[in-house]
């Protein structure tokens, strides 16, 4: 889910992003559940080509049938969109 929280001047926005990913093993594997990633972040659009996003990920990963690894991850990402134009 992604929704604009605040609209600023010059087409700049602050956007809230939330997601939950569940990864499953398929085929001939001993465990069906592999991992779950629950995340929330805020993205600030600085221009049409640049934005920065900071957030949190709670990662739960299956190690054995009864053991799970839990990680708390803080991340910051700088996004750049390359201007692509076809030449005629």
Q: Residues, the chain, total?
A: 88
- What is the token pair recorded at 72? 């708390």
Q: Average pLDDT, stretch 45-60?
A: 94
Q: Decide which of 85 and 26 is more confident.
A: 26
- pTM of structure: 0.74
Share of the chain above pLDDT 70, in %: 97
Which residues, in sequence order, are CB contacts of 86 under 8 Å at separation 6+? none
Q: What residue segments make up the domains of the chain, in order of their start? A: 2-80
Tally of CA atoms within 13 A in the half-sphere of 66 that contains its CB: 0
For residue 61, which of 40, 19, 31, 28 has the smallest C-alpha distance?
Answer: 31
Look at residue 9 and tell me whether its pLDDT is greater than 80: no
8 A C-beta contact, residue 52 and residue 44: yes
Look at residue 4 and tell me whether its pLDDT is greater than 90: no
Share of the chain above pLDDT 90, in %: 56
């Amino acid at each position: 889910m992604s929704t604009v929280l605040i609209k600023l001047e010059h087409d700049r926005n602050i956007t809230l992003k939330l997601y939950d990913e569940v990864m499953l093993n398929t085929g001939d594997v001993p465990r069906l559940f592999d991992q779950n990633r629950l995340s929330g972040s805020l993205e600030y659009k600085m221009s049409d080509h640049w934005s920065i996003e900071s957030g949190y990920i709670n990662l739960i990963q299956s190690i054995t049938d009864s053991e799970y690894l839990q990680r708390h991850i803080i991340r910051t990402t700088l996004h750049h969109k390359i201007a692509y134009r076809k030449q005629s």
